[in-house]
Amino acid sequence: MNIKIAQIGVGYWGPNLLRNLVSNQHCTVKNVVELSTKRKEYVKNTYPNIDTTKSFSDVLLDNELDAVVIATPVNTHFKLVCEALSAGKHVLVEKPMASSVVEVEKIEKLANKMGLVAMVGHTFLYNSAVRYIKKIIDSGEIGKIRYIYTQRLNLGRIRDDVNALWNLAPHDISILQYWLDGQKPLETKYNGTSYVQKGIDDVSFLNLVYPNNVLANIHVSWLDPNKVRRINVVGSKKMIVYDDIAKDKVVIYDKGIDIIAKLENDMDFDNLNGTNYYHRSGDAFAPKINWIEPLKVEINHFVDCITNETPCLTDPEHAKQVISILSVNKFM
CATH assignment of the domain containing 117: 3.40.50.720
d(CA 64, CA 328) in angstroms, rounded, equals 41
Domain that holds residue 30: 3-123+294-326
- Does residue 21 fall inside a structural domain? yes
pLDDT at 240: 98
pLDDT in tens, 101-141: 999 999 999 999 999 999 999 999 999 999 999 999 999 99
Q: How far is CA 243 from CA 85, 249, 252, in A?
A: 37, 5, 12
State pLDDT tens for residues 186-206.
Answer: 999 999 999 999 999 999 999
pLDDT at position 280 is 78
Distance from C-alpha of 320 to C-alpha of 314, rounded to nearest angstrom: 10
In a domain, 170, yes or no: yes
Q: Are residues 135 and 274 in the same domain?
A: yes
pLDDT number for residue 329: 83
Residues 158 and 55 in one domain: no
Q: Residues in the chain with pLDDT < 70? A: 260-275, 278, 331-332
- Beta-sheet strand order (sheet of 250-261): 187-193, 203-210, 214-221, 145-155, 223-235, 239-243, 250-261, 275-285
331 found inside a domain:
no
Following DSSP, what letter does each residue of 161-203 receive, concatenated?
SS-HHHHHHHHHHHHHHHHTTTPPPSEEEEEEE-SSBTTB-SE
Could you give the number of structural domains in the chain? 2
pTM, 2 dp: 0.92
CATH number at residue 146: 3.30.360.10
Which pLDDT value is given to residue 296? 97
Closest CA to 145 of 242, 248, 232: 232
Please tell me whether residues 70 and 175 are part of one structural domain. Answer: no
Residues 171 and 74 in one domain: no
**pLDDT the model gives residue 26:** 96
Longest dimension (CA), the chain: 84
Indicate whether 321 and 190 sit together in one domain: no
Residue 332 falls inside a structural domain: no
Looking at the fold, whether 118 and 129 belong to one and the same domain comes out as no
pLDDT of residue 266: 55
Same structural domain for residues 89 and 150?
Answer: no
DSSP state of 126: G
Same domain, 98 and 43: yes
Q: Are residues 42 and 27 in the same domain?
A: yes
Which of 252, 268, 285 is where one domain is finished? Answer: 285
Q: How far apart are CA 120 and CA 71, in angstroms?
A: 11
Total residues belonging to the chain: 332
**Quick one: how far is CA 280 from the chain centroid?**
33
223 has which bridge partners?
A: 155
Q: Does residue 272 lie within any of the structural domains?
A: yes
244: which DSSP letter?
T
pLDDT for 264? 55
The per-residue pLDDT for 255 is: 87
Which amino acid makes up residue 160? D
Nearest in space to 133 (alpha carbons), one of 170, 313, 141: 141
Task: Give residues with Cβ within 8 angstroms of 325, minimum separation 6.
Answer: 173, 177, 185, 188, 206, 208
Distance CA 152, CA 165 (A): 10
What pLDDT, on the 0 to 100 scale, is given for residue 319?
Answer: 98
Quick check: 189 and 217 in contact, CB under 8 A? no
Please name the amino acid found at residue 201.
D
Same domain? For 135 and 228 the reply is yes
User: Same domain, yes or no, for 255 and 318?
Assistant: no
281 and 303 co-located in one domain: no
DSSP 304-316: HHHHH-PPPTT-H
